[in-house]
Amino acid sequence: MGGGVSGLTAAYALARARQAGAPIEEFLIEAKDGLGGVIQTENVNGFLIEAGPDSFLTEKPEAAVLCRELGLGESLLGSNDGERRTYILHRGRLVPLPDGLMLLVPTRIWPVITSSLLPMGAKLSMASEWFMSPPDNPSGDVSVADFVRRHFGSELLDNIADPLLAGVYGGDSASLSARSVLSRFWQMEQKYGSLTRGVLKARGQRRADAKKNSRGTPAPLPPLFTTLKGGLGQLTEALAKNLDCARVFSGRRIESIEIEQVNSKDGYRIRCLGGASFVADAIILAVPAFECSRLLAGLDAALAKSLATINYSSAMTVALAYDAALAGKLPPGFGFLVPQKEKRRLLACTFVHAKFSQRAPAGQALLRCFLGGSRDPGVLELSDEAIIRIVREELETVLKFSATPLFHRVHRWPRAMAQYQVGHEETVTRIQTRLQSHLTLALAGNAYSGIGISDCVRTGRAAAEGVLQKVVR
């Protein structure tokens, strides 16, 4: 159930198993008329518009592996990291993030010392972080805000960490889980105490491993982000093409799931609005956690209750295309982030034409702005005209230009971004424990163990493999 990238990956894995001889009949049900979920790509006059995500992290391999499996290896496209620079809006002007910053951890001292983003007291705090020891009694989960503050102080939290995380999660660092959102740094703290020392040790180990594997010749660093030349819609379209269209049912909103005998065993009756129904031995729920909660309330109230505690924020992307007159006026780099204290409605803006090649006609510019999140959920209720007016006014103030876009696109994504709030790991553990009572139910998607495309691909594959083991004996 669910035709986003998680559900499509699960259905694809099941279809491959059937084609290899597994005695199964898989089918996919999607409430909307089209497939792809938040991944939607549009090509307008040579501009490639991504309505939802525009890339995936290269260091997580699952999405790239799937692309190659689908014959899209030649279409993989890395970000232009030679041009990578990100700005923070600070006191009304754009200030570059210090070089050598790994998310929120400094790996080079001089760029931090010379940056105007942090006062001298904050810089001294960052220097003293090197001497932190591992906690004597590791505590339970804490908020991202508390975690960052105890390592680097409030100024780095407000000026750097908070806008970075708002751009990714659309959430509030005071409620997001450090253990789930910053899991790598959480583990470094337990081992080293200092995140700076932990990051540098990890980087040194990666370089040593790369040198060893390359027989002494340093391998080039991979790009930070990867996408597809024709947009991420290529991925979901390729997945859909590998499914039997007779087994795909879109425009079918599920009303309820009931226990029913199937082949002399407990199975499920899936009822859709309008009267259609399906019978299944096993179900993969690749829909938001709140939808899982609604559908499972009649089967397992405790499981449904745990699923309902996973909150979501809403997102909005606004794409604006410009001619060559603007492109030369933009600062070099990938775009900028906006801290909450700047009191803007923009969360971030990406210079898409700079981040990736083949996203705009030569010499022209494509900007993609982000709004909403937990900071400003009401913006989704505004008209397109009001939103474009707000975006253009704020871009004019920040970037010092008043050019009229060639065209624009506004995309709203209500309740689309799962929020890993403090205690998220315990919530997921409770869900997994309850699922042990339902061996032919599986969950996939961005609500549990990662919000990226590779995470969705991983959970989709794992769900398919799990139900196959239960059903095919």
- Please report which confidence band the pLDDT of residue 368 belongs to, taking 50, 70 and 90 as the band edges: very high
Q: Examine the pLDDT at 402 and tell me if it is beyond 90.
A: no
- Tell me the pLDDT band of 215, cut-offs 50, 70 and 90: low
Query: What is the per-residue pLDDT across 105-150, written as a single tens digit (0 to 9) for each?
Result: 877 777 888 888 888 888 887 788 889 988 877 778 999 999 999 9
Angle at 219 between CA 217 and CA 225, to 5 degrees: 175
Crossing angle of helices 120-128 and 144-152, in 10° steps, is: 90
β partners of residue 387? none
Strand pairing partners for 441? 283
Q: Which residue type occupies 140?
A: G
264-274 mean pLDDT: 89
Q: Which of 26-30, 63-67, 221-225 has the lowest mean pLDDT?
A: 221-225
Please tell me the total number of residues recorded for the chain in this structure. Answer: 473
Residue 446 has pLDDT above 90, yes or no: yes
Residue 462 scores a pLDDT above 90:
yes
- Which of the four pLDDT bands, split at 50, 70 and 90, describes residue 213? low
**Residues 6 or more apart whose Cβ sits within 8 Å of residue 1:** 7, 28, 29, 30, 254, 270, 283, 284, 285, 286, 287, 295
Q: Do the Cβ atoms of 10 and 42 come closer than 8 Å? A: no
Q: How confident is the model at residue 217 (pLDDT cuts 50, 70, 90)?
A: low
> Rounded CA gap, 141 and 424, in Å?
9
- The pLDDT value recorded for residue 209 is 64
Angle of the 62-69 helix axis to the 453-471 helix axis, nearest 10: 70
Q: Given this model, what pLDDT does residue 165 score?
A: 86
Could you write out the DSSP letters of every residue in 129-190? GGGPPPPSS-----BHHHHHHHHH-HHHIIIIIHHHHHHHH-S-TTTBBHHHHTHHHHHHHH
Looking at residues 40-65, what average pLDDT do you find? Answer: 96
What is the CA angle 390-394-399, rounded to 5? Answer: 150
The β-bridge partners of 102 are 105
Q: Residue 287 has what pLDDT?
A: 97
Structure tokens at 334: 């990938």
pLDDT-based confidence at residue 83 (cuts at 50, 70, 90): confident
Q: Tell me which residue has tokens 């492109």.
A: 327
- With a cut of 90, say whether residue 218 has pLDDT above it: no
10 Å CB burial of residue 275 (0-12, 13-18, 19+) is: exposed
Residue 234, pLDDT above cutoff 80: yes
